[in-house]
Chain A
Amino acid sequence: MKFTEEHEWLRADGDVVTVGITEHAAEQLGDVVFVELPEIETMVARGDEVCVIESVKAASDILAPIEGEIVEINETLVDNPGLVNEDPLGDAWFFKLKVDDPSVLDEFMSEDEYKDFIG
């Protein structure tokens, strides 16, 4: 698993990368009450706003960490947004991206590096 400075986690399985948010991010957001997911087959560029998350406190975006095509979304989150707080690193993944070159993940942080990053 790799981690971004935007508090997302990435897990590669071949050329498909699953994206979610970290425990730290979920805790900072507070109770999540709304999730808006992208459409399947959308091509996204790095930094594009892909999802909207609303907590009891505020709205925030999930940005596409890398370029790729959205091939799967986690519809469960639409009906059960609270899952983001319950299991951010597992069942509460947001979307899966098909990428040309999975080696782009190498530039992101390891778990230890991410822990240092959030202090």
Chain B
Amino acid sequence: MAGLQHTVLFDLHQSLGAKMVPFAGYEMPVQYPAGVLKEHQHTRAAAGLFDVSHMGQILLRGPDVAAALEALVPVDLQGLPEGRQRYAMFTDESGGVLDDLMVANRGDHLFLVVNAARKAADLAHLRESLPESIQIEPLADRALIALQGPQAELALARLLPGVLEMRFMDVATLDWEGGAVWVSRSGYTGEDGFEVSLPEAAAVGFARALLAMEEVAPVGLGARDSLRLEAGLCLYGHDIDTTTSPVEAGLTWAIQKVRRKGGAREGGFPGAERILRELSDGAARQRVGLIPEGRAPMREGVELFDQEKGGDPVGRITSGGFAPSLEHPVAMGYLPKALCATGSRVYGELRGRRLPVTVAALPFRPANYRK
């Protein structure tokens, strides 16, 4: 496919029989011969290997780097201990979300993992906004491999015994065949698991060593999407973007007290006025879980109504599909506050017909993190 970038695992994907599709400027595996359902179920039952090398990896170093980055995110980074990672989001002046990301404190620097589609914009944003004393180092020569599922620890520990010492959201530098790999105990599937950042030169050998294990199977973007959807996790550009605030999106758990009203470092991030106000008073609309009645999936763009006939849409679905582990369709979308209570009934318009949809608690499936 012309004009698309390849990750270092491209040839491996092809040799595994992957079906490749364009995604965020990369040619990526959407599924392997097993198919989305089996790959999803394998991740929930054993361990799935995901190539997420298309995501952006960025190092930040310099004096008071955590304080500097706090000016761009509503998250407590100065209180983030060495060896720990935290979920964050870049906000804009209107309180919208520019991107969501992971920030790890790796001692003398911060390590950021950002969305592939946003990495150029994020880098420009960092360069524009951070003081000159902070070095911004995009890492173009590192791969990122996720291993997710209840047997991820068992499998990965054969290569990296140090992972046994880690708990959810820990980060560590471990040794593999004489080289340093950066490991975090995290992921985006709702399962226990790890993300491993390593030099491109080592990535194919590392992935092959994992894939040789009985517990491990390759998993494509298709199942990555159904896994994160069941886990109630937001996909940037769909469930969150510059038109949604972190409070509307239900990401308030990521905004620590110290950055809230009355906190020691209250505000001080773009859009603070709106975000702090919504934290106190609530937002007019909220991201909710939705369960369509019956088996027909409702996907992104389906309009939601508060009545079966007539009236204007009250919201829309931002992502949705079939949930393989639940064996019924699920979706997420935004609704006015009055309709957000679990059990509320709304209607989704599908092929000209309005079908009942019930508001449900998120996540749809409880997470399995090793806290």
Residues of A within 8 A of B (CB): 30-31, 33-34, 36, 52, 54, 56-57, 59, 78, 81-82, 85
Contacts and interface: CB of A to CB of B under 8 A. Distances in A.
Nearest to B30: A57
Given A34-B322, A78-B295, 10 more contacts: A30-B31, A34-B295, A52-B296, A54-B322, A56-B35, A56-B36, A56-B321, A57-B30, A57-B36, A82-B37
A31 B35 contact: yes
A42 B222 CA distance: 36
Contacts of B35: 30-31, 56, 85
A37 to B, nearest CB: 12
A59 B297 contact: yes
Contacts of B321: 56
Nearest to A58: B299
B83 interface: no
A82 B327 CA distance: 12
Contact of A30 (B222, B329, B351): B222
A82 B30 CA distance: 19
A82 B324 CA distance: 12
B226 interface: yes
B36 A34 contact: no
A47 B31 CA distance: 31
A34 B37 contact: no
Nearest to A61: B351
Contacts of A56: 35-37, 222, 226, 321-322, 324
B37 A31 contact: yes
**A30, A31, A52 pick with most chain B CB within 10 angstroms:** A31
A115 B37 CA distance: 28
Given A36-B296, A54-B296, A31 B351 contact: no
B322 A33 contact: yes
A34 B320 CA distance: 14
10 contacts: A30-B36, A31-B35, A33-B295, A33-B297, A34-B322, A36-B296, A56-B35, A56-B222, A57-B30, A85-B35
